[in-house]
Amino acid sequence: MPAKKDPRDTLIAAAMELAAERSWHSVTLIDISQKAGLSLADIYPLFKNKSDILRAFVRKVDMQVLADLDNADFDQPRHDRLMDVIMARFDALAPYRPALKSILHDFGDVGLADGARAAKTGFASMRWMLEAAGFETGGIQGSLRVAGMGAIYARSFRQWLDDESPDYGPTMALLDKSLNQAGGWDSRLGKGLARVGTLRSKFAQRCPKTATDHGEAVSD
């Protein structure tokens, strides 16, 4: 007996099909439920609204990209691996390109709360893509990497949406150039943070001695 399909996947597929057919702004939860063959009561415990469905779609793409990665690729330079990860993401998104164009066109119509949640989901995706390429995403430098990757991905994504070349050559060229520039900034930032760390370490080594001397002076 075939496994029962997850209703979340059914709803995501229905939402993307509708987005490809018409303006995302005009798509309602009733439309999605009818397309999926489910009721609003079925949707209620799964998704709060349309934006919630889109965030689930993004996470689904994340999992697909991560599941398809070849661990042997860790032998590649991180720049090359990150290129491969992002291009693999675009390959995973390719079947949904008409829907994504519709959604992006109407994205400015989202409310502040949904916009904030979308940004949070986007940053989480970029964090996973960076980690998949072997980049550390913790701390100050890691957070700046995630923010920078978000900006690079957004620019490359818009290029990819209109890229009709068979190998996405223009998109790859833009991504490669952007990553090279970011790599230079990241390297300089890393050196700067290392110097700050060295100064903090020296200061920390001196502080206990100063405190001890002060204590001895008081006791005397």
**Higher-pLDDT residue of 216, 21:** 21
State residue 182's pLDDT score.
Answer: 83
In a domain, 140, yes or no: yes
Residue pLDDT, tens place only, 65-91? 999 886 656 678 888 999 999 999 999
Which CATH number do you get for residue 81?
A: 1.10.357.10
CB-CB contact of 22 with 28 (8 Å): no
Task: Answer yes or no: is 217 within a domain.
Answer: no
Higher pLDDT, 57 or 108: 57
Q: Is the pLDDT of residue 202 over 70?
A: no
User: Which tokens in the block code for residue 204?
Assistant: 């920390």
**pLDDT category of residue 119 using cuts at 50, 70 and 90:** confident
Residue 219 counted as domain residue = no
CB atoms within 10 A of CB 196: 11
Q: How far apart are CA 123 and CA 117, in angstroms?
A: 10
Give the pLDDT confidence score for residue 111 in this predicted structure. 61
Residue 1 in this model has a pLDDT that exceeds 80: no
Note whether residue 220 is domain-resident.
no
Q: 105 pLDDT band (50/70/90 cuts)?
A: confident
218 inside domain: no
Q: What confidence tier does 217 reach under pLDDT thresholds 50, 70, 90?
A: very low
pLDDT at 121 over 50: yes
Whole-number percent of the chain with pLDDT over 90: 58
Interatomic CA distance for residues 144 and 132, integer angstroms = 17
Give the tens place of pLDDT for each residue, 143-165: 998 999 999 999 999 999 999 99
Q: Give residue 161's domain range.
A: 7-212
Domain for residue 2, yes or no? no
Q: What is the pLDDT of residue 191?
A: 53
By the 8 A CB rule, do 145 and 186 touch?
yes
Helix locations, the chain, DSSP H: 7-21, 29-36, 40-43, 50-68, 78-93, 97-105, 112-132, 139-161, 169-219
How many domains are contained in the chain? 1
- pLDDT score at 4: 74
Q: Does a structural domain hold residue 1?
A: no
